Structure 1
Amino acid sequence: MSTSSTVAEVVTGYADHLRSRDVSEHTARAYVADVSDFLDHAVHSTKLRRGTEGGHPSTTSGARIDLASVELDDLRSWLITLDDAGAAKSTVARKIAAVRSFFAYGVSNLGLSNNPAARLRTPKKDSRLPTVLKPQQAADLISAAEGPRTGDTDASDSAAGGATTGDTTGPTTGDTAQGDTAQGDPLDAAKRIRDAAILEMLYATAIRVSELTGLDHSDIDDRASMITVLGKGDKERRVPFGAPARRALDDWLATRDLFAGPHSGDALFLGVRGGRIGARQVRELVHRYGSDDPSAPDIGPHGLRHSAATHMLDRGADLRQIQELLGHSTMSSTQIYTQVSMQRLQDTYRRAHPRA
Structure 2
Amino acid sequence: MGESVPKAAERDVPPPSVISLIDEFCDYLELVKGRSAATIKGYRRDLLDLADYLGSDGLKEFTLPELRAWLAHSANNGLSRATLARRTAAARVFSTWASRHGHIPSDEAARLVTPKVNRELPTVLRPDQAEAMVTSTADNASSDDPVAIRDIAIIEMLWATGMRVAELCSLDLGSIDRAGSSARVIGKGNKERVVPFGKAAAEALKRWETEARPKLMKKTTNALFLGVRGGRIDPRQVRRIVDTAAHNAGVSAHISPHSLRHTAATHLLEGGADLRVVQEMLGHSSLQTTQIYTHVSAQRLKDAYRQAHPRA
- Compute the displacement of 1:87 (Å): 3.0
Of 116, 120, 131 in structure 2, the residue corresponding to residue 128 of structure 1 is 120
The alignment partner of 2:285 has SS state of: coil
What letter is aligned with 1:101? V
Distance 1:20 1:323, change over 3 A: closer
Find the counterpart in structure 2 of residue 24 from structure 1: 35
After superposition, the C-alpha distances for 1:286-321 in whole angstroms (9 at most, x for unaligned) are 111101243542210010111111112112111111
Of 318, 333, 339 in structure 1, the residue corresponding to residue 274 of structure 2 is 318
Q: Is the 8 A contact 1:133 1:297 kept in 2?
A: no
- Compute the displacement of 1:350 (Å): 1.0
Find the counterpart in structure 1 of residue 88 from structure 2: 96
Q: Is the 8 A contact 1:137 1:296 kept in 2?
A: no
Does residue 208 of structure 2 align to residue 252 of structure 1?
A: yes
Of 57, 66, 83 in structure 2, the residue corresponding to residue 74 of structure 1 is 66
- Compute the displacement of 1:190 (Å): 0.5
Distance in 2 (alpha carbons) for counterparts of 1:335 and 1:138: 22
Q: How does 1:1-356 map to 2 (within 5 A)?
A: 6-26=17-37, 27-43=39-55, 50=56, 65-148=57-140, 189-254=145-210, 255-262=212-219, 265-356=221-312
Unaligned segments of structure 1, at least 5 residues? 44-49, 51-64, 150-182
- Compute the displacement of 1:129 (Å): 0.8
Q: With the length of structure 1 as denominator, give the TM-score of the two structures.
A: 0.78
The alignment partner of 2:138 has SS state of: coil
Distance 1:132 1:102, change over 3 A: same
The alignment partner of 1:146 has SS state of: helix
More deviation, 333-342/110-119: 110-119
- Compute the displacement of 1:25 (Å): 4.2
What letter is aligned with 2:47? V
Find the counterpart in structure 2 of residue 159 from structure 1: none
Q: As a proportion of its length, which structure holds more helix?
A: 2
What letter is aligned with 1:261? K
The alignment partner of 1:6 has SS state of: helix
Find the counterpart in structure 2 of residue 58 from structure 1: none
What letter is aligned with 1:41? Y
After superposition, the C-alpha distances for 1:18-63 in whole angstroms (9 at most, x for unaligned) are 34414234233332222112112222xxxxxx2xxxxxxxxxxxxx
The alignment partner of 2:248 has SS state of: coil
What letter is aligned with 1:72? L
| Cα RMSD, aligned residues only | 2.0
Distance in 2 (alpha carbons) for counterparts of 1:291 and 1:22: 38
The alignment partner of 2:193 has SS state of: strand
What letter is aligned with 2:60? A
The alignment partner of 1:229 has SS state of: strand
After superposition, the C-alpha distances for 1:194-241 in whole angstroms (9 at most, x for unaligned) are 000000000011111111011001000011001000011111000001
Distance in 2 (alpha carbons) for counterparts of 1:195 and 1:210: 16
Distance 1:342 1:15, change over 3 A: closer
Unaligned segments of structure 2, at least 5 residues? 1-13
The alignment partner of 1:329 has SS state of: coil
Q: Indicate the percent of aligned positions where both proteins have the same amino acid.
A: 43
Distance 1:306 1:86, change over 3 A: farther
Which of structure 1's runs of 4+ aligned residues deviate more than 6 A?
none
- Compute the displacement of 1:5 (Å): 5.2
